[in-house]
Amino acid sequence: MPKDSAFLRKLPAVGFLLEHPAGRDLAEAFGRGEAVWALRGALDALRAAGGGDGAPEAVVRSARRLLAPPFKRVVNATGVLIHTHLGRSPLPDAGDLLEGYVDLEIDLATGGRGDRNRLSEGLLARLTGAEAALVVNNTAAAVTLALAAFARGGEVVVSRGELVEIGGSFRVPEILEQSGCVLREVGTTNRTRTADYAEAVNERTRGILRVHPSNFRVVGFTQAPAMEELAALARERGLPLWVDQGCGWIGPVGGFDFPEEEPVPRLLEAGADLVFFSGDKLLGGPQAGLAVGRAEAVARMRRHPLYRALRPGRETFALLQATLAAHLSGRWERLPLWRMALTPLEELRRRGRASARKLPGLALETVDHPCRFGGGTTPLYEFPSVALTWTPRSPSGAFGRLLGRDRPVLAIIHEDRLLFDLRTVLPREDGELVGAIREAAGNP
Ligand SMILES: *Cc1c(COP(=O)(O)O)cnc(C)c1O
């Protein structure tokens, strides 16, 4: 692009910008050194582009964007509990395990080298009834590692009804390819029988993989073999059976049960060699991929060189320990995800009415609203919640102002209204939410 020399000459100098009220605010918020660095960066970008908005306010705005932290705490008023765009499950409290040092790889009885997988050997195995378990960074990593360890160079049989894409570009056929396996598709999108699997098995087959369809359902004329049938076939042919269960459903929590979901312990009982699931979906913990199953199968995953590249750090183990302990003791209210899910409707109504009273000029109302777990889990399941509704002059304008704050609020736009589902708002965020609505309404 030809440089417009008049434009370049007119660009303000850094010294001038620092004296400008907007620039002074910037220096006050971030410190003078940081502000100078960012203003130079913003000016350099304009010079490189050879044009743009060179007004002092605009340059300072670009500079501010260079300094703003990449992540912010967001108030989730969507009623989607496991919100993929907001980090999935809210994290539990790991006590003081996130500070200082921990006995990650030391055996305190001897002072010798320990193993970070004690957690998987103990709590995870107890919770799922598995012989052994392994923790990696996410479910995609668990499936990739298992396939690489067991099936590289061979064929893996998968039903055509399970060749799914799960948000964030986890595509079953591509994972198989990346792990060096050949995908052997069987059956059809809606119906696959045990006989289809049996016909596909040959001397190159290394195993059978079942994949939970996660975020979608095929309904109507459908068929898939029961786990026991598939396990019987796998045993008869001397093949391992792996299940990518994904959602991390372990069994009933409080009043919640999902009869259509197969819990991890049941999949193992029915004969799966390995089951893979996420730490940050229905388990309500940190991002992690959990592999549970037969001791020798888990040991083989752990011996594979790829494991070293996929193992998580101690913060994952600390948060996972708190998560698993809450499930084992049935104290689900210790997990923010389940505390939200189990909050009584009356409690949400009371909080909604209290917030509405603080903004009498805006005529906020509390209404019944369906909420969901989200995160690709239980896609057809909704349960009752309560939302605050607000009818601003411009719903999209107010929506944008709520997102543009230092503590952004993600609301729902529904026709001419904004909805704030209170189930996913932490009780201690109620004041923040009221303040944000007040601000977005122009401080009535
Ligand atoms: C969510 C999910 C995954 C991906 O899990 P990550 O932990 O995000 O890698 C894989 N398979 C299934 C069936 C899932 O539900």
Residue % of the chain over a pLDDT of 90: 89
Arithmetic mean of pLDDT, 326-345: 97
pLDDT at 288 over 50: yes
Summarised one tens digit per residue, pLDDT across range 84-96 is 999 999 999 999 9
pLDDT at 369 over 80: yes
Summarised one tens digit per residue, pLDDT across range 385-420 is 999 999 999 999 999 999 999 899 999 999 999 999
Which CATH fold would you assign to the domain 118-331? Aspartate Aminotransferase; domain 2 (3.40.640)
* DSSP 8-state symbol, 122: I
How close is the Cα of 143 to the center of ligand 1, in Å? 9
pLDDT at 228 over 90: yes
Pair 74, 410: CB distance under 8 Å: yes
Residue 170: band (very low, low, confident or very high) from pLDDT cuts 50, 70, 90: confident
pLDDT at 362 over 90: yes
pLDDT at 176 over 60: yes
Taking CA atoms only, the protein residue closest to ligand 1 atom 3 is 246
Pair 169, 86: CB distance under 8 Å: no
Quick one: which atom of ligand 1 is closest to the CA of 164? Answer: 13
**pLDDT given for residue 1 in this prediction:** 47
**pLDDT given for residue 444 in this prediction:** 62
Ligand 1 binding residues, C-beta < 6 A: 138-140, 166, 170, 211-212, 214, 244, 246-247, 278, 289, 376
State the pairing for strand pair 132-136/289-293: antiparallel
pLDDT at 2 over 60: no
**pLDDT given for residue 215 in this prediction:** 81
**pLDDT given for residue 3 in this prediction:** 61
The domain locations on the chain are: 5-66, 75-86+339-440, 118-331
Give me the architecture of the 75-86+339-440 domain, per CATH.
Answer: Alpha-Beta Complex (3.90)
Phi, psi (rounded to 5 degrees) for 28: -70, -40
What are the strands, taking DSSP E only, across 137-264? 155-159, 165-166, 170-171, 182-186, 205-211, 241-246
Quick one: which atom of ligand 1 is closest to the CA of 287? Answer: 7
Q: What is the pTM of this model?
A: 0.92
**pLDDT given for residue 156 in this prediction:** 98
Nearest one of 439, 425, 438 to 362, comparing CA atoms: 438
Nearest one of 273, 292, 322, 270 to 94, comparing CA atoms: 322
Summarised one tens digit per residue, pLDDT across range 306-335 is 999 999 999 999 999 999 999 999 999 999
Q: Which amino acid is at 20?
A: H
Arithmetic mean of pLDDT, 69-95: 95
How close is the Cα of 277 to the center of ligand 1, in Å? 7
**pLDDT given for residue 290 in this prediction:** 98
Site to probe by mutation for ligand 1, drawn from 278, 287, 373 as the one with most ligand atoms within 8 Å of Cβ, is 278
Summarised one tens digit per residue, pLDDT across range 144-162 is 999 999 999 999 999 999 9
Higher pLDDT, 443 or 406: 406
pLDDT at 382 over 50: yes
Residue 336 to residues 2, 280, 349, 378, 431: CA-CA distances in angstroms?
56, 12, 19, 19, 18
pLDDT at 138 over 70: yes
Nearest one of 326, 266, 329, 317 to 287, comparing CA atoms: 317
Arithmetic mean of pLDDT, 131-139: 97
Strand partners, 420: 388
Average pLDDT value over all residues in the chain: 95
Pair 168, 332: CB distance under 8 Å: no
